[in-house]
Amino acid sequence: MKKKKWLLSADHSACAEKMAGELELSRLTARVLAARGFDTKEKANDFMTQSVEGIHDPFLLKDMDTAVAEIRQAIANKVKIAVYGDYDVDGVTATCIMIQYLKKMGADCTYYIPDRLEEGYGLNVAAIQSLYDEGCRLLITVDSGITADEEAEYARSIGLRLIITDHHECKETLPAAAAVVNPRRMDSEYPFRELAGVGVAFKVICALEKDRPIEELLEEYADVVAVGTIADVMPLVGENRIIVSYGLRYLQNTRNYGLRSLMQKLGLDTKVVTSNAVSFTMAPRINAAGRLGGASSAARMFLTEDSREAAGLAEHLCDLNHRRQEEENGIYEQIMSRLKVQPELTRGKTLVLWDDGWHNGVIGIVSSRLSDRYGVPCVLISMTGDSGKGSGRSIKGFNLYAALEKNAHLLEKYGGHELAVGLTVKRENLEALRSALEEYAAVDREEEITPCVNVDCRVEPQELTLREVRGLAALEPFGMGNPQPVFLMNDVRIEEITPISHDRHIKLHLSKQGRNFYAFVFGMGAKSCQFVKGDLLDIVFSAEINSYRGNENVQLVIKDVKWAEGEEAADRLAWDTWRAFRDGREIGRAEAALLCPTRDDLVAVFRHVKANAEEGILVTPAATLYRKVRYEAKACTSMNVGKLLTCLDVFTECGIFSYEQNGEDLSVRVMDYQGKADVNGSVVLKTLMAVLKG
């Protein structure tokens, strides 16, 4: 795993103290604001103000007047209208608010959401023809269509009027539609480019209802718009911040039967709903329908006016999400098992893997997990026969779309953007694609790109009181562009490690300066945890209020964790000493004592490797391995990484183990050794003993 770089903001304690008093904020909140550049009363006030005056005139969007005229004419003339959406949360919510509005206006309307597995993203000719055959004569796209040149031309050829509303990047030439409403148009003069697809659809409704107060429209639609905007990871700044703030407020008492049922099912109906709750609890359930090929069930949930049907559909989405999790975790565990046996696959600048039967609706999530774990772009390809569909995720600083574009001759089809791509590839080109992406990365990334974590400020335990942490709510809603505050705390000790959720995550009991905290590390089980009880850590984390049976306490959600700097320094010294000895350089008695293992040390290392090797191989960071050995064997209190490596050298010399290094990671293989080894004959041990004796 690649270590992340922590980018700690400069200290602004003085101006934070002043702002905290002037604005009646908690000191921690003021420190975060100052760290993010809002270091005066005026700047902070401007950021936190959520006034409808920041909602822009929808007619500033190009073609909005034409779109409004077309829709009004279709409604007046009883022309059947189709809304063409997308299978993710943004596309589904955009579809639903547009359908709700059209029905309210008495329009004859229907909607169409393409099947992710069979049709893929965007407009397609077969669907256009099908809608035309059903009698539709006006087609409105939401969250899609901006690059659909051929499909737009086909719609024109059969007499189907087309309005495109979208928020994705545009080409220089727009599709030949009656209207193209997109804040990212190259000729756009709209003040805010970052609307979600559902945000653009909402602006169309605002334009159609230009005489109604914006407050009324927000009350009617903002809850659904907020869900789509948050789920699509749009920046929660500017107009989005205002819409989402209102939406979260209305979500608490939503009149949408489907949302209400889903929140009840998830236990959110009795809590203050935050953007995090939407992102990590609600959105995955809604998305699961599209990922498994049935986004229409999510749309039905949003559109139904029958509470019983809404409850059934919410239950169905939760069941689908459970299936999605099983599929995702199954693929992830399969890949992790493969990488343990073939650790060389993780040594490159990219990670490209394929297999038969992987569910192509979930491989994008697995790609994201692997990319985050190893700090490299990852592409996973699900093969069926001679062809495969792939999904890739990248890291900041590496344009994965450009890498595919460079190697388009190896692909049947591809699309996406810098950080996320989709592709289709023939089986015969798989190895060539892997090599080509690795070669591209080697040229494009001459300097290693290190994943980074932005940290707002360093804190001590006494600062994490209920009052201080509760005050952070003034910065909500959190999301892209306004992330949840992240803090750094040094020299925290692990008192206990507890696996949770079938060992998919861990709960840590931590202590410092007499204060105790519970912290969660998501995506790391106890089995894969690098740390052991007693370790001293540096952690970066977000802080939240946990309420349980009327009791409240501060809990931490860890974003990244390392051994404390003192621990890291000791490890570096032991590594350097071992390397000097291995390279044949002269070392003194103190260095030899640091490296020379006792019989107890050798026995403890042997037993741990034998007990934990899977299929004869143990893959683990060296710094983790020696700490686990030290924790398990009380007689090995002086065990360090240099002494561990010396033990492995001795066992390799005797033919008991062999091992390889990949940076600071080890791959230890148990050899098929027969008989009893005499480690006393080891040249490595004899050499160290000779130095010790002088």
By residue count, the chain amounts to 694
Is 55 a residue whose pLDDT tops 70? yes
Instruction: Name the residue with tokens 């143990």.
Output: 618
Is the Cβ–Cβ distance between 46 and 36 less than 8 Å? no
Instruction: Look at phi and psi of residue 246 and say left if phi exceeds 0, alpha if psi is from -120 to 50, else beta.
Output: alpha
pLDDT surpasses 60 at 445:
no
Give the start-end residues of each E strand in 292-407: 351-356, 378-384, 387-393
pLDDT number for residue 290: 85
Q: Chain-centre distance of CA 557, in angstroms?
A: 15
Residues 6+ apart with CB under 8 A from 545: 466, 469, 470, 552, 553, 554, 555
Residue with structure tokens 């003085």? 14
Take residue 112 and report the two structure tokens written for it: 């169409």
Task: Flag whether pLDDT at 174 surpasses 80.
Answer: yes
As beta bridge partners, residue 425 has 388
Same fold, 453-563 and 566-693: no
The pLDDT confidence band at residue 449, using thresholds 50, 70 and 90, is low
Residue 131 near residue 160 (C-beta atoms within 8 A): yes
Nearest CA to 600 among 578, 574, 624, 633? Answer: 633
The two structure tokens encoding residue 282: 């609600």
Residue 415: the pLDDT is 75
**Mean pLDDT, the chain, as a whole number?**
92
Assign 348 a pLDDT band (cuts: 50, 70, 90).
confident
Collapse the DSSP code of 416 into the 3-class scheme (helix H, G, I; strand E, B; otherwise coil) and give the result: strand
How many CA atoms lie less than 13 Å away from 520 in the CB half-sphere?
Answer: 15
CA distance 263 to 260: 5
User: Which tens digits make up the pLDDT trace of 371-396?
Assistant: 988 888 999 999 999 999 999 999 88
Task: Kindly state the tokens that stand for 145.
Answer: 């269509």
Distance CA 279, CA 235 (A): 13
Q: List C-alpha distances in Å: 435 to 189, 218, 342.
A: 43, 51, 17
Residue 694 confidence class, pLDDT cut points 50, 70, 90: confident
> What is the pLDDT at residue 1?
56
Question: For a pLDDT cut of 90, what percent of the chain falls above it?
Answer: 74
Decide if 68 contacts 98 (C-beta within 8 A): no
For the chain, state the CA radius of gyration.
29
**Cα dihedral value 365, 368, 369, 373, nearest 10:** 170
Residue type, 660: E
124-153 pLDDT, tens digit per residue, is: 999 999 999 999 999 999 999 988 899 999
- CA gap 169, 147 in Å, rounded: 9
Q: Which residues contact 274 (CB under 8 A, 6 or more apart)?
A: 248, 476, 477, 478
DSSP E strands, 340-480? 351-356, 378-384, 387-393, 413-416, 420-426, 452-455, 457-458
CA distance linking residue 88 with residue 104, whole number of Å: 24
Please state which of the four CATH numbers 3.90.1640.30, 2.102.10.10, 3.30.565.10, 1.10.275.10 is assigned to the domain occupying 58-317.
Answer: 3.90.1640.30
Instruction: Find the mean pLDDT for residues 100-129.
Output: 91
Indicate if the pLDDT at residue 357 is higher than 80: yes
User: Lowest-pLDDT range, 482-491, 640-649, 669-678?
Assistant: 669-678
Q: What are phi and psi of 352, to 5 degrees?
A: -125, 120
Rounded Cα distance, 384 and 382, in Å: 7
- Mean pLDDT across 267-281: 91
Neighbours of 14 (CB within 10 A): 10
> Can you give the pLDDT at residue 163?
98
SS3 content of the chain, % helix, strand, coil (to 5): 45, 20, 30
Assign 478 to helix, strand or coil: coil
Instruction: Tell me the mean pLDDT in the region 271-293.
Output: 90
> Cα(665)–Cα(473) distance, rounded to whole angstroms?
40
Helices (H) and strands (E) in the chain, counts: 25, 21
Confidence category of residue 664, pLDDT binned at 50, 70, 90: confident
Domain boundaries, the chain: 58-317, 342-441, 453-563, 566-693
CATH 3.90.1170.50, applies to 566-693? no
Phi, psi (deg, nearest 5) at residue 60: -75, -15
Closest CA to 592 of 601, 580, 606, 603: 580
DSSP secondary structure letter of residue 614: B
Q: Specify the 3-state DSSP secondary structure of 426.
A: strand
Give the distance from CA 120 to its chain's centroid: 22
Phi, psi of 360 (to 5 degrees): -75, -5
| pLDDT of the residue at 584 | 93
pLDDT for residue 501 = 87
Which pair of tokens denotes residue 353? 């893997």
> What CATH class has 342-441?
alpha beta
Domain 453-563 carries which CATH code?
A: 2.40.50.460
Q: Is residue 397 pLDDT above 70, yes or no? A: yes
Mean pLDDT of 83-96: 94
